[in-house]
């Protein structure tokens, strides 16, 4: 699959690059995508919810009423779960929501996400670029030149570029990330994926190890 290379002015450079069929032309695996996105979202959860059980509540241990004949549920001290202000039964405790997912499945999920983007013709390849200074206005010009200012965009660069990142971070519908950090969720969450030419071999190297 060949894609034309544009410059940041939106002009065709006359060159084309080949997208690796082993990544961009595979049959997408929806279940692998589901598992990888589920893992990514699970790892974002704080898991700090906590409620007190009866053993953790301060209060007297004196039995409040007789065992039988009261007409209601049996209860012991004031910390009983059946009383207002008592402990909670089986309440949440701090936990890690993450789970294990095989590396091959995670790679398949990323390949599948990229394959969907290729099928939708939602991958734009641009020449490697940088900006002289962090200016949101300069980045907005790039979006306008590429005619994607009205879409949710993911810019994938060969490496970390602090100037480009600072220029884009005030834009709500734009994400900028290094190719080595690319994940399934970010790819699927974007309407258009703008890939710097130098990022293509990095992506291919990570997914075809």
| CATH code of the domain in which 142 resides | 3.40.1370.10
Q: pTM value?
A: 0.84
DSSP-assigned letters across all residues of 70-107: SSS----STT-TTSTTSPPTT------------HHHHH
Q: Provide the pLDDT for residue 205.
A: 92
Interatomic CA distance for residues 188 and 123, integer angstroms:
12
Tell whether 147 and 114 lie within a shared domain: yes
Q: Provide the pLDDT for residue 165.
A: 95
Interatomic CA distance for residues 91 and 89, integer angstroms:
6
Tell whether 63 and 150 lie within a shared domain: no
Tell whether 149 and 87 lie within a shared domain: no
Q: Count how many domains the chain has.
A: 2
Tell whether 28 and 70 lie within a shared domain: no
Tell whether 70 and 151 lie within a shared domain: no
Interatomic CA distance for residues 147 and 188, integer angstroms:
20
Interatomic CA distance for residues 99 and 91, integer angstroms:
21
Q: Provide the pLDDT for residue 160.
A: 92
Enclosing domain of residue 85: 51-91
pLDDT < 70 stretches in the chain: none
Tell whether 35 and 58 lie within a shared domain: no
Tell whether 115 and 40 lie within a shared domain: yes
**pLDDT one-digit tens code per residue, 174-193:** 999 999 999 999 999 999 99
CA 3 → CA 98, 111, 116, 122, 123, distances in Å?
37, 17, 15, 11, 8
Cα 204–chain centre separation? 20
Per-residue buried b or exposed e for 122-131, using 16+ beta carbons within 10 Å of the residue's own CB: bbbbbeeeeb
């Amino acid at each position: 699959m060949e894609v034309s290379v544009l410059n940041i002015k939106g002009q065709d450079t006359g060159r084309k690059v080949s997208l690796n069929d082993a990544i961009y032309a595979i049959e997408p695996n929806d279940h692998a995508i589901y598992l990888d996105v589920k893992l990514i979202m699970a790892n974002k959860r704080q898991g700090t919810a906590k409620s007190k059980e009866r053993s953790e509540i301060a209060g007297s241990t004196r039995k409040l009423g007789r065992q039988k004949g009261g007409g209601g549920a049996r209860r012991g001290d004031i910390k009983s779960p059946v009383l207002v202000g008592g402990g909670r039964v089986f309440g949440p405790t701090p936990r890690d929501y993450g789970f294990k997912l095989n590396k091959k499945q995670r790679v398949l999920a990323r390949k599948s996400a990229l394959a969907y983007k290729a099928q939708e013709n939602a991958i734009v390849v641009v020449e490697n670029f940088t900006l002289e200074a962090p200016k949101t206005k300069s980045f907005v010009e790039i979006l306008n030149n590429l005619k994607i200012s009205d879409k949710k965009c993911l810019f994938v660069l060969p490496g970390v570029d602090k100037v480009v990142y600072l220029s884009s971070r005030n834009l709500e519908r734009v994400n900028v990330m290094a190719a080595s950090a690319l994940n399934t969720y970010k790819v699927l969450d974007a309407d258009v994926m703008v890939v710097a030419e130098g990022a293509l071999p990095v992506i291919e190297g990570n997914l075809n190890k």
